[in-house]
Amino acid sequence: MASTQPEIAYDCSPMLIVYKDGKVNRLGGNDVVPPSFDSKTAVESKDVVYSPENGLSVRLYLPKNVNQSQKLPLLVYFHGGGFCIESPFSPMYHNYINSLVAEENIVVVSVQYRRAPEHPLPCAYDDSWSALKWVASHVNGSGPEDWLNSHADFEKVFFSGDSAGANIAHRMGIKHGMEKLEGVNVEGIVLCHPYFWGNEAVDNETNDAKSRKFIETLWRCAYPETTGFDHPWINPAEDPDLGKLECRRVLVFVAEKDLLCARGWYCHQKLKESGWRGDVEVFETKGEDHVFHLFNPDCGNAKVMLLKTAGFYNTN
């Protein structure tokens, strides 16, 4: 008797399973929370549509105690999830951004982008660039969103993200270097446990076949037309435009137990060798795994990481 079970195209458990008939079963990252005033952090948030044609929004965050015309550093944040799960509206990201805003006294734009596999790469990159152009439309104080008109300091803009979101933040920094967001000065980029990879293991990166297969299956799920794991979008060391990254400073967070740890160190090295003239620093957290600061935000190491980012955003 023939099996009635649908055939699996990509098994990226515990994140998602994609079937050959097109069905996608997301195993996590499905919960959402509305924007709100968060009494714990005194941070206010709201959602604003930036791409009506694709039904995409950004979630904006503002410290409650900001003066009417006070300008603050602007952070554009890209969520992680392998390009496939999570959103800016997930409780994990909503709570994390509230904490960032409260600790660092900044304005944040948290970007929604179309997710793979329904919308494979480069959709996430294209949407993120569209969001950045929407943000840049506020440079002269005449954009559609009052919070950005009144409070965003476009001389002090930062990009950041975790995992796949860090990959996007990095890609947006290069795209800004090549195409320029007029009137926007990207002061720095913070990459939290960036999702970078390559065909061959580097330094002390794992050679374990099962571990490497998970990372590589996730990449093919997100970008089925990829040429492989040395494609510039997943392996910046192979990107001829790496030195065009447009910002003055880069901070890379890695975690000792993360499969991506060695790759973060390697890309830091390659960025320094690329001819890029900025300053890059790596901060490694011992004893922790991938994006631990999101899953366990109250632990000591997560608090250290939060303070480190606060210092980065508030350094003149």
Q: Please report, for residues 83, 105, 129, 176, 181, the alpha-carbon distance to residue 184 in angstroms, rounded to integers and kept in the order given.
A: 26, 19, 13, 9, 6
- Of the listed 176, 231, 268, 290, which one is catalytic? 290
Q: Is the dihedral of CA 28, 162, 179, 157 positive or negative?
A: positive
- Of the listed 38, 127, 162, 258, which one is catalytic? 258
Give yes or no for a contact between 119 and 150, defined as CB atoms under 8 angstroms apart. Answer: no
Q: How many other CB atoms sit within 10 Å of the CB of residue 52?
A: 8
From the centroid of its chain, how far is CA 36?
22
In 3D space, the residue among 105, 62, 59, 63 whose CA is nearest the CA of residue 86 turns out to be 59
The enclosing H or E element of 219 equals helix 209-222
- Of the listed 163, 239, 268, 293, which one is catalytic? 163
In 3D space, the residue among 68, 137, 77, 128 whose CA is nearest the CA of residue 104 turns out to be 77
Sort residue 184 into left (φ over 0), alpha (ψ -120 to 50) or beta: beta
Quote the crossing angle between the two packed helices 91-104 and 300-313, to the nearest 10°: 50
Is residue 163 part of the annotated active site? The answer reads yes
Is residue 290 part of the annotated active site? The answer reads yes
Q: Among all residues, which ones are annotated catalytic?
A: 163, 258, 290
